[in-house]
């Protein structure tokens, strides 16, 4: 890693928003993937709590612990030269502001540039931003709190509520916002009314940028989601390689030393 090369800062991301350049973001959970994403020029590399189900084999992302995620954050951090590193606060760390502060400080020590948590919590945003942390929030569909994925804020009343919440979170000191599975016009309205970066997933093309789950994007996951861009079938390629390997071993075709 070239230690003389500066990573993207929040100011760099805001500057992209100002000039209308879309911001790119992907989840990431390991060193090799971080190197690949960073070398490609990704703006934000995001260690999400989706690591729980995609990498660690948990039944639900809420089973993830701070200690488990710290190992992944440290690994991803080692692979980054130029991208902004964003990290989720696990569900277990979001039940009290004091616990959020403790987890946030640990992830910052591990290399995180920004920390994200779900839901409308302006008091927590104010507390963490007062600590000097770059705090990102998440509105719309909330995986930690909603049982099934589904579009939210479909009616005028709930859309107006979400819009006002976004403005209040910014006023509380939020550094950025993830909007998931909300109507595209609402997402565009939020992005246009705010100064911080608004990153969408399943929220149309009018946000300041897009985020996707790495395992969905490259086809490592078995499930497919309507709002996921599946641009490769890596799982199929890897499975084929294992079957070829088994055949070669059986026929003594794998070279030795």
The residues that are catalytic are: 180
Question: How far is residue 233's CA from residue 167's CA, in Å, rounded to a whole number?
Answer: 39
Residue 132 backbone class (left: φ over 0; alpha: ψ -120 to 50; beta: rest): left
| Partner residues linked to 155 by β-bridges | none
Cβ partners under 8 Å of residue 128, min gap 6: 97, 100, 101, 104, 115, 135
In this structure, the number of other CB atoms found within 10 A of the CB of residue 173 comes to 17
First to last CA, the chain: 31
| Angle in degrees, 0-180, between the axes of helices 156-172 and 184-193, rounded to the nearest 10 | 30
Cβ partners under 8 Å of residue 235, min gap 6: 219, 220, 221, 222
Question: How far is residue 179's CA from residue 199's CA, in Å, rounded to a whole number?
Answer: 6
φ, ψ (nearest 5 deg) of residue 88: -75, 145
């Amino acid at each position: 890693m070239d230690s003389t090369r500066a990573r993207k800062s929040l100011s760099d991301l805001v500057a992209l928003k100002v000039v209308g350049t879309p911001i790119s973001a992907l989840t990431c959970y390991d060193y090799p993937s971080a190197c690949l994403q960073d070398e490609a020029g990704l703006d934000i590399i995001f260690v999400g709590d989706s690591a729980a189900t995609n990498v660690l084999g948990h039944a639900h992302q809420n089973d993830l612990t701070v200690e488990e995620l710290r190992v992944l954050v440290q690994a991803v951090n080692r692979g980054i030269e130029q991208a902004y590193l964003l990290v989720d606060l696990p569900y277990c760390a979001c039940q009290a502001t004091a616990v959020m502060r403790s987890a946030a400080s640990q992830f910052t020590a591990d290399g995180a540039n920004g920390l994200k948590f779900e839901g409308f919590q302006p008091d927590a945003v104010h507390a963490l931003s007062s600590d000097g942390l770059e705090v990102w929030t998440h509105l719309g569909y909330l995986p930690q709190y909603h049982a099934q994925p589904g579009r939210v804020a479909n009616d005028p009343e709930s859309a107006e509520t979400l819009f006002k919440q976004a403005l209040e979170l910014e006023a509380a000191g939020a550094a950025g916002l993830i909007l998931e599975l909300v109507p595209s016009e609402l997402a565009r309205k939020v992005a246009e009314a705010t100064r911080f970066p608004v990153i969408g997933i399943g929220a149309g093309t009018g946000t300041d940028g897009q985020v996707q789950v790495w395992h969905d994007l490259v086809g490592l996951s078995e499930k497919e989601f309507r709002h996921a861009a599946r641009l490769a079938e890596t799982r199929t390629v890897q499975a084929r390689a294992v079957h070829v390997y088994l055949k070669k071993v059986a026929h003594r075709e794998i070279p030795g030393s």
